[in-house]
Amino acid sequence: MEPSSELKKVLSTIREFIEKEIIPLEPLFLNHQYAEMMTHLNEKRQMAKSLGFWLPQISQEYGGMGLTLVEHGMVSEILGRSILGHYALNCQAPDAGNMEILIEHGTPEQKEKYLQPLLAGDIRSCFSMTEPENPGSNPTWMSTTAVKDGDDYIISGNKWFSTGAEGANFAIVMAITDPKAEKYQRASQIIVPVDTSGFHLVRKTSVMGERGAGWASHCEITYDHVRVPQTNRLGPEGSGFTIAQERLGPGRIHHCMRWIGICERSFDLMCEHATLREVAPGHPLAEQQTIQNWIAESRAEINAARLMVLDAAHKIDQKGQYAAREEVGLIKFHVAGVLQRVLDRALQTHGALGVTDETPIAYWFRHERAARIYDGADEVHKRSVARRILRRYAS
């Protein structure tokens, strides 16, 4: 899966852009100077747009770079080297997934009102599915309802972990539209503008000691008899889970390649620090066999993880995501584990510096622990992959 010479040029220019323009903004982010950081980051977004590096995950018809999933995976790895990389090219979660939903299932009116400004980077959105009172691992068990009233729906329920809801223009809400239907046809996805009466952003949930801000926050929302027209529904009634399923395969490739980018940056920082930090005069940390083991183990794990993810992406590109379900399940938990191990080794190599916010390692260590939970907890993926494998052995 060697990139073409044209793609190699694109990858190296994006890498230079990330190193020179985006990484220098990280200290502002890590020191909670969010407003100032966003002013600069929005300028960098314009720069990315003018260079033609905008929406790598979207087709050219909609103003994107028109990359295959494998190619976008390679771009995503480079963007993942910075906490701010994906936002700089307007391919951050959950907007990237919401764009794909609107492209596939939006009506012309929904596309004009919500998709176009999202693609332009003028607004943001959130995806509101998980509920505090119900297990996200069993998404068919949901309390939020959308009840018809004339031409409208009245939505009632509580959601949490709606990433990026602060400052978003609209939410895509998953709600039960027919409680009597077959369990995978009970829910629909409905667009709710955040200025609709009854939409209450209750709080930004503190995650590992930080509430975050804007696209880097996770919010609890109450939908208190929120009235929206039925024309805000995406796709046919009852298609909520089918639509959610469609975005999961490519979404997991995006996450896994972003995590590999995080691993690569942390690996570089670990090797640089091990080379520079002397434990006795003239004796750098890199001479210690423990550190050498961590470097070798990390290198092997990252290389293997990348091949697994690109293989899954290739299968989706060639045969569709249904055919690649097993590969996608495997990479989701495997790469999340590699990420956690590499970050831990990089942090440990830095000693006390590792737990400060002088490098991005501690931020990732805190916030990417969740990689083993969001988009399906490890245990859920392992269970479904194992069951699929075992079916082949049942006589």
Quote the least distance from Cβ 280 to ligand FAD, whole Å.
Answer: 41
Residue with tokens 């949901």: 142
What is the rounded CA–CA span in Å between residue 301 and residue 318? 26
Quote the least distance from Cβ 381 to ligand FAD, whole Å.
Answer: 10
Residue whose Cβ sits closest to ligand FAD: 136
Quote the least distance from Cβ 135 to ligand FAD, whole Å.
Answer: 3
Quote the least distance from Cβ 10 to ligand FAD, whole Å.
Answer: 29
If residue 223 lies in a helix (H) or strand (E), which one and from where to where? strand 218-229
> Residue from 80, 136, 329, 354 that binds ligand FAD (CB under 6 A)?
136
Quote the least distance from Cβ 174 to ligand FAD, whole Å.
Answer: 7
Amino acid at 238: G
Q: Which 3-state string (H, E, C) describes 15-74?
A: HHHHHHHHHHHHHHHHCCCHHHHHHHHHHHHHHHHHCCCCCCCCCHHHCCCCCCHHHHHH
Stretch of 38-46, 161-169, 255-263, 315-323 contacting ligand FAD, by CB under 6 A: 161-169
Stretch of 11-19, 133-141, 188-196, 220-228 contacting ligand FAD, by CB under 6 A: 133-141
Q: Which residues, 6 or more positions from 162, have their beta carbon under 8 angstroms from its beta carbon? A: 126, 127, 128, 130, 171, 218, 219, 220, 221
Nearer to ligand FAD (CB atom), residue 85 or residue 349: 85
Stretch of 110-118, 130-138, 235-243, 298-306 contacting ligand FAD, by CB under 6 A: 130-138
Nearest to 187 by CA among 134, 261, 150, 256: 134
Residue 137 near ligand FAD by CB under 6 A: yes
Quote the least distance from Cβ 131 to ligand FAD, whole Å.
Answer: 8
Q: What SS3 state is found at 135?
A: coil
Nearer to ligand FAD (CB atom), residue 42 or residue 137: 137
Quote the least distance from Cβ 224 to ligand FAD, whole Å.
Answer: 18
Q: Which of residues 353-392 bind ligand FAD (CB under 6 A)?
A: 370, 373-374, 377, 379-380, 383
What is the rounded CA–CA span in Å between residue 5 and residue 27? 34
Peptide bond into 94 cis (omega under 30): yes
What is the rounded CA–CA span in Å between residue 232 and residue 106? 9
What is the rounded CA–CA span in Å between residue 206 and residue 118? 27
Give, in order, the Cα–Cα distances in Å from 369 to each of 109, 187, 338, 374, 378.
39, 30, 11, 10, 12
Read off the tokens for 355: 């737990």
Q: Are 202 and 161 in contact (CB under 8 A)?
A: no
> Residue from 14, 78, 88, 129 that binds ligand FAD (CB under 6 A)?
129
Nearer to ligand FAD (CB atom), residue 103 or residue 370: 370
Q: Which of residues 34-93 bind ligand FAD (CB under 6 A)?
A: none
Quote the least distance from Cβ 213 to ligand FAD, whole Å.
Answer: 14
Stretch of 112-120, 129-137, 196-204, 266-274 contacting ligand FAD, by CB under 6 A: 129-137
Nearer to ligand FAD (CB atom), residue 158 or residue 177: 158
Quote the least distance from Cβ 207 to ligand FAD, whole Å.
Answer: 6
Which residues of the shown chain bind ligand FAD in the complex (CB under 6 A)? 94, 127-130, 135-137, 161-163, 218, 370, 373-374, 377, 379-380, 383
